[in-house]
Structure 1
Amino acid sequence: MNRLRNEGSDLDAVDLRILRLLAQDARTSVAEIARAVRMSAPSVSERIRRLQESGTIEGYTICINPAALGLPLSAWLRIRPVPGELARVTEIVKTIPEIVSCDRVTGEDCFIAKVNVRSVADLERVIDRIIPYAMTNTAIVQSSPVAPRLPDVEA
């Protein structure tokens, strides 16, 4: 059986199919997955348990449209702390609830953060909390042609 070996990973084609099914809909039942991969439900349950224990599956979630929550404006903030303020900026971005994700990255900027807000004025208030300690560059999201998805990985 083909196995994907990468950074301690030991996934086969069935594991990848299970992951794809769960990524499409985390509420897919074990019975449905078992039928899709042509295995017994107990075998699929065991594989899912193993994927959870190995940290391959970190959790289950839902996708919520921010606009449905009254947050129609999304933006990406590139954040470059001024010298000596990296730790402070890290703590500040952790406390801003409008920042829904933030990655530390290489390059000129140290962070790329996604923000969901009601208005440009709210976006400005978020930026104003950061700019005493960092330079920012903002890109407002017009559309998202690629939804979050699994990378194309072959076993």
Structure 2
Amino acid sequence: MELDDLDWKLLDLLQRDGRMTFTDLAKRVALSAPATTERVRRLEQAGVITGYAAVVSPRLVGLPIEAIVRVRVRSLDTPRFRERIVTLAQVLDADHVTGDDCWLLRVVCRSTAELEQFVEQAQRYGDTTTSLVFSSAVRNRPVTREVVEGIVSR
């Protein structure tokens, strides 16, 4: 799908505030509310916009331990790993990747004991490496036109 300047402006605004009303969006892009609504609906129907969500702080809801768990899953165990580990509630993100590790999991837990139990479950399917997250410099960065067009700014 070819996106024009207006589409990119709408995407930028909605990625920063998914609760923005069509009226507010329309004002920000200098269009009528119906035209803005139609543009956004077209982006949704094309699959460019895949959803809207609240971003919740795991720490503030009782999940202070965050870790990246890398797993080198044995190939025959991949279906069971997807079924039994990737579906666990502690897994916020699960990326099947190339390289030495097959999976990168971002997990949150109530305690280090819970993290230990999670890692022990994952180890049934292969070797693991676990890193505790101290902080995250970038989270949920918007996808921008500059990234798509390969423009690097400093």
Q: Which runs of 4+ in 1 moved over 3 A?
A: none
Q: Does 1:95 align with 2:87?
A: yes
SS of 2:145's partner is: coil
> Which sections of structure 2, spanning at least 5 residues, go unmatched?
150-154
TM (norm. structure 1) is 0.90
Q: Does 1:71 align with 2:67?
A: no
- Cα distance, 1:92 vs. partner? 1.7
Q: Give the Cα–Cα distance (whole angstroms) in 1 for the partners of residues 8 and 48 of structure 2.
A: 11
Q: Give the Cα–Cα distance (whole angstroms) in 1 for the partners of residues 77 and 126 of structure 2.
A: 8
> Which sections of structure 1, spanning at least 5 residues, go unmatched?
1-8
Pair 83,55 (structure 1): closer, same or farther in 2 beyond 3 Å: closer
**Greater mean deviation of Cα atoms: 94-103 or 24-33:** 94-103
Q: Does 1:117 align with 2:121?
A: no
- Cα distance, 1:148 vs. partner? 1.0
Please tell me the root mean square deviation across aligned C-alpha atoms, in Å.
1.3
What amino acid maps onto 1:91 in structure 2? E
Aligned to 2:135: 143
Q: Give the Cα–Cα distance (whole angstroms) in 1 for the partners of residues 126 and 55 of structure 2.
A: 31
Written as runs of structure 1 = structure 2, the 5 A alignment for 1:47-58 is: 47-58=39-50
Aligned to 1:44: 36
- Cα distance, 1:33 vs. partner? 0.7
Aligned to 1:3: none
- Cα distance, 1:83 vs. partner? 4.1
Q: Give the Cα–Cα distance (whole angstroms) in 2 for the partners of residues 110 and 146 of structure 1.
A: 23
Aligned to 1:16: 8
What amino acid maps onto 1:12 in structure 2? D
SS of 2:106's partner is: strand
Report how many residues are paired.
147
> Taking every aligned residue pair, what percent have the same amino acid on both sides?
36
Q: Is the 8 A contact 1:98 1:117 kept in 2?
A: yes
Deviations 1:111-155 (A, max 9, x none): 111101111111011111111111111111101111211233247
Task: Identify, as 1 or 2, the structure richer in helix.
Answer: 2
TM (norm. structure 2) is 0.90
Q: Is the 8 A contact 1:89 1:134 kept in 2?
A: no
